[in-house]
């Protein structure tokens, strides 16, 4: 069997209820690229000490399951990357639906030699107006700063290792920090990151819909997001449970 060219890494903590809804979109997109390219990819779900059936369900949906006990999402992504066999890495959160064209488009960008990595912008559709306005603010903020959050990010495996992966001493904004370094690396090597604006991934809005808008505004703004990223206690609400 051919060695995978692409490794899709999905961190997952207690995602048994969400994987059946979102992982099939990743499977479909990967299959479409495999059929047209003749290449092969792999999906790695990193079970982050889940207490539910996350590992079993991920395996039943065709993913290769590995385990990471440290409750730190940067470490979880790094563990997935260490197990990856592909020349390209595509990090996707467990509650994100991707379009069928996503993998094909990402691989075209990465294998062209023009880009070292990038992201597909997210489209959030929360129920409340305040939450929708907050999402629009973040969309504008990221565009202005050429940034991207960790709902999906991709890069060459060589670039990932050159940068040392995600910071494991950060418990929040580690995805933004990694993408900033990836952007600088791309500019330095004349392979700039790319935001694939013609596509959108669709993350779940569970946190926006269940938390009060004021709480989301407090925790999701550029000032708070930079506060004490090294503190597991400060960001414990983000890790202690998966919002349903």
**Reported confidence tier of residue 112, pLDDT bands at 50, 70, 90:** very high
Say what the pTM is. Answer: 0.94
Residue 117 Cα to chain centre, angstroms: 13
pLDDT band at 118 (very low <50, low <70, confident <90, very high): very high
Question: 48 burial class (0-12, 13-18, 19+ CB within 10 angstroms)?
Answer: buried
What CATH class is the domain 6-124+148-204? alpha beta
Q: List, for residues 86-101, the tens digit of each pLDDT value.
A: 999 999 999 999 999 9
Residue with tokens 């959050």: 149
Query: CA-to-CA distance for 30 and 34, rounded, in angstroms?
Result: 6
Q: How far is CA 93 from CA 52, 76, 218, in A?
A: 17, 11, 23
Domain segments of the chain: what residues?
6-124+148-204
Q: What is the DSSP letter of 234?
A: T
Residue 169 has pLDDT above 70, yes or no: yes
Lookup result for tokens 């899709």: 8
Q: Which tens digit of pLDDT belongs to each residue from 174-188?
A: 999 999 999 999 999
């Amino acid at each position: 069997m051919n060695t995978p060219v692409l490794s899709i890494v999905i961190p997952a903590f207690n995602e048994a209820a969400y994987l059946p809804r979102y992982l099939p979109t990743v499977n479909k997109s990967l299959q479409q690229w495999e059929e047209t390219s003749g290449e092969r990819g792999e999906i790695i779900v990193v079970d982050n000490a889940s207490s539910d059936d996350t590992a079993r369900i991920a395996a039943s949906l065709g993913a290769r399951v590995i385990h990471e006990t440290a409750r730190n999402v940067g470490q979880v992504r790094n563990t997935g990357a260490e197990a990856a066999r592909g020349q390209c890495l595509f990090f996707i959160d467990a509650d994100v639906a991707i379009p069928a064209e996503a993998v094909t488009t990402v691989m075209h960008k990465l294998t062209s030699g023009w880009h070292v990595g990038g992201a597909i912008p997210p489209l959030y559709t929360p129920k409340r107006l305040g939450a929708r306005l907050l999402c629009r603010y973040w969309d504008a903020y990221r565009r202005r700063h050429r940034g991207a959050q960790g709902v999906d990010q991709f890069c060459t495996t060589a670039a990932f290792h050159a940068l040392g992966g995600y910071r494991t001493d950060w418990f929040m904004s580690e995805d933004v920090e990694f993408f900033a370094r990836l952007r600088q690396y791309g500019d330095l090597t004349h392979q700039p990151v790319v935001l694939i604006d013609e596509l959108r991934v669709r993350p779940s809005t569970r946190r926006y819909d269940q938390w009060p808008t004021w709480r989301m505004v407090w925790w999701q703004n550029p000032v708070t997001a930079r506060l004490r990223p090294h503190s597991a206690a400060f960001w414990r609400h983000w890790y202690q449970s998966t919002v349903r």
